[in-house]
Chains A and B, each alone.
Chain A
């Protein structure tokens, strides 16, 4: 937790500035919206965080969100399939995508950046072709199913703020991922592989399987995220649904302290990083800065955060060096 004080400070600062200078930030509606978006994007960021932990990257997850998010209403409405068939099929499809990435990276030794960049183009293309580039939606149906994403759970003692239902899967996933990473051999192996892949191999760790597993987990979480996103918004265009989501997820993971060199992942950092990005997007609108500025502001904050982190680390390292030299 100690390494997240800086990020927590940034998060609280953005919240305070927005609450004081803007209007409507602290309304129950806005807060529910923020929690909802944070939960959805955190699920994606957790997935890419796992891959980043192995020293890899996944650029394709926005397109996986799109493919899955479009396929769900397409299969349910256009083809009239049962939800009992559709949900397992799209999840299996997501897992298969991850498996393909993992095998291409570990067996053919292609670079993760390249493999998943091709995936980014491939899955969006498939989604657009498959639907004839037509908008897909639930047309008012499947209300019970969509409750998983749009439901609001009343909390005791609060009248207007009710907890978005997506917070439940996020909390469950965050706890599971955190426990797997810190308490199981697979988590240790994953971080060891990211920290020094050759040393991990020399230690008898099945690095190929670990890396493949990480890509499967990432695509599975992207698929789950895609399903929840489409349940949330109801209908979407194949040409722009999920655009840039991979970059939000990667930015959140990096802001949360995951090193792109691999070897370190923090679940708390990932969720906090996602929340910070979502509050920033929110405050740009509430403060009337003009939504055109959104990417510029996020880019600047990310750069400043990473640079500050590096400077603090160097200062800390130099202090350790001096202390041990005495």
Chain B
């Protein structure tokens, strides 16, 4: 990381506000993604926006850059003479006119254009329609130098690395007279050296009076470059911190919000008996490698790996969806082959795609929760309706489902509450094996904490938990043991103590186990 490598202090004596945000809010299908946001963006300042997944960062960025209109509130641009102009925010073009430029995470430049063409796209130098290539290249060279790129303006964009593309995108924004530069996770696909250079370049831009809005998951970067940080939580501003009082602990506390109850220490699993034993299982999707794994009673095992590494297929094969070979035993007994038989013996799967594979959407929360429990609570096929009501009410309380209304249609719930409904469906059968695919994707921080707690509680009660997640923080936070998949096969194993994000990533991308450790 580039932490500490860029030394910088707010250097401008006069801080001038160039964009004011008043009470911005945004709702999607009745759910507030953003609520009552007030902020000032100042020239010559790096404003960091931090927050957990789902805190509303991307919604705020979209509103700032004119992609989404806000539901409530207003934005005011202040020009060089100190006069405010209200922005109607009907288009990205209006945002660009106000000097706001958005630099995407993974810039999409037209591959066939040369750098001069890409930077001056839409503002080409021409005479009666004939391009003046030479003068374009001269101007482009100037902007390239500004962002510290030593490239010939006639280079084709297709040959650039992602880091270079990002800088070209910034050059493009600067050439269009951008006064506010919005960067969304600019370092997510960069190496350490590239990050250092990017941060140094941003520092340079700040000194020249450009306002920079910087969104990142990496607090190290934020601490090293930001003059101020806005912390978003559940769509609201949890706090605005100046450089003087900014430290990692404060940011983290604000991001997570409530003092999340410290997780009880996980019990020792040394003596726990094996519960789920998967022996050389092959999934039906022409998976090449047979995979074997064991999950102990009460253990939480995380499956890490890149998208497409075979985590979902392995989980589905264990659940009885497309299991093509190898044996699976639960407490020493072989499992049946169909998913219906496996569910009956206590295997539960919470699929990755809630809408397609999980929820019965016109239906209320109650029937969605009770669906798997029904056969257990039925006498000769007749549903125990009083039992069903009690079960649903209990599950809503236990998982802190909001709103706590069993008749609420499930599609009107937030992602977190939908995920709680899915988990509730399976917790209600007190499963022996709980398989979860991306257990907290698209879920806000509070719900994520509740879901993790419920998963830990299930494990403590003796359930064998196996989950797959692309979110390494989640894997490290939740798993007792971590298995890494690459290209359809389990390629390595870490205990919680051994594992680091770096080591897991290295294995997941095909590195060797020894090197990773």
Point out residues on A near B: beta carbons under 8 Å.
183-186, 188-189, 192, 195-196, 198-206, 263-264, 320-321, 324-325
Residues of A within 8 Å of B27, CB to CB, are: 325
**Bound-state Cα–Cα, A324 to B383, Å:** 32
Check A203 against B382 for contact (C-beta < 8 Å).
no
- Separation in Å of the B34 CB from the closest CB of chain A? 14
Contact pick for A205, options B29, B319, B340, B358, CB 8 Å: B340
B486 within 8 A of A: no
Contact pick for B378, options A185, A198, A202, A321, CB 8 Å: A185
Residues of B within 8 Å of A320, CB to CB, are: 412
Residues of A within 8 Å of B356, CB to CB, are: 196, 198-199
Residues of B within 8 Å of A196, CB to CB, are: 356, 359-361
Q: Which chain B residue shows the least CB distance to A205?
A: B340
**Bound-state Cα–Cα, A202 to B344, Å:** 12
Check B30 against A185 for contact (C-beta < 8 Å).
no
B321 within 8 A of A: yes
Check A204 against B360 for contact (C-beta < 8 Å).
no
Taking CB atoms and an 8 Å cut-off, the chain B residues in 341-370 that contact chain A are 342-344, 349, 351, 356-363, 367
Check A192 against B371 for contact (C-beta < 8 Å).
yes
Main secondary structure of the interface of A (DSSP, over half): helix
List of 5 A-B pairs having minimum Cβ-Cβ separation, nearest first: A204-B343, A324-B30, A184-B381, A206-B340, A185-B374
Check B357 against A202 for contact (C-beta < 8 Å).
yes
- Separation in Å of the B384 CB from the closest CB of chain A? 10
Check A183 against B349 for contact (C-beta < 8 Å).
no
- Separation in Å of the B285 CB from the closest CB of chain A? 16
B456 within 8 A of A: no
B375 within 8 A of A: yes
Contact pick for A204, options B71, B339, B378, B382, CB 8 Å: B339
Main secondary structure of the interface of B (DSSP, over half): mixed
Assuming A188-B371, A202-B357, A203-B371, is B339 touching A183 (CB within 8 A)?
no
Check B382 against A324 for contact (C-beta < 8 Å).
no
- Separation in Å of the B282 CB from the closest CB of chain A? 20
Check A188 against B342 for contact (C-beta < 8 Å).
no
Check B367 against A198 for contact (C-beta < 8 Å).
no
**Bound-state Cα–Cα, A325 to B28, Å:** 9
Can you list 14 A-B pairs with a CB-CB distance of less than 8 A? A185-B381, A188-B367, A188-B371, A188-B374, A192-B360, A195-B361, A198-B357, A199-B358, A199-B359, A206-B340, A264-B362, A321-B29, A324-B30, A325-B30
B236 within 8 A of A: no
Q: Which chain A residue shows the least CB distance to B320?
A: A204
B57 within 8 A of A: no
**Bound-state Cα–Cα, A320 to B412, Å:** 10
Contact with A along B85-104 (1 / 0, CB 8 A): 00000000000000000000
Check A202 against B321 for contact (C-beta < 8 Å).
yes
- Separation in Å of the A191 CB from the closest CB of chain B? 8
Contact pick for A195, options B349, B357, B360, CB 8 Å: B360
B425 within 8 A of A: yes
Assuming A192-B371, A202-B351, A203-B425, is B383 touching A183 (CB within 8 A)?
yes
Check A204 against B383 for contact (C-beta < 8 Å).
no
B372 within 8 A of A: yes
- Separation in Å of the B441 CB from the closest CB of chain A? 16
- Separation in Å of the B119 CB from the closest CB of chain A? 42
Residues of B within 8 Å of A203, CB to CB, are: 343, 371-372, 425
Check B358 against A324 for contact (C-beta < 8 Å).
no
- Given A188-B367, A203-B371, A325-B71, list of 4 further CB < 8 A pairs? A192-B363, A192-B367, A196-B361, A264-B362
Residues of A within 8 Å of B30, CB to CB, are: 321, 324-325
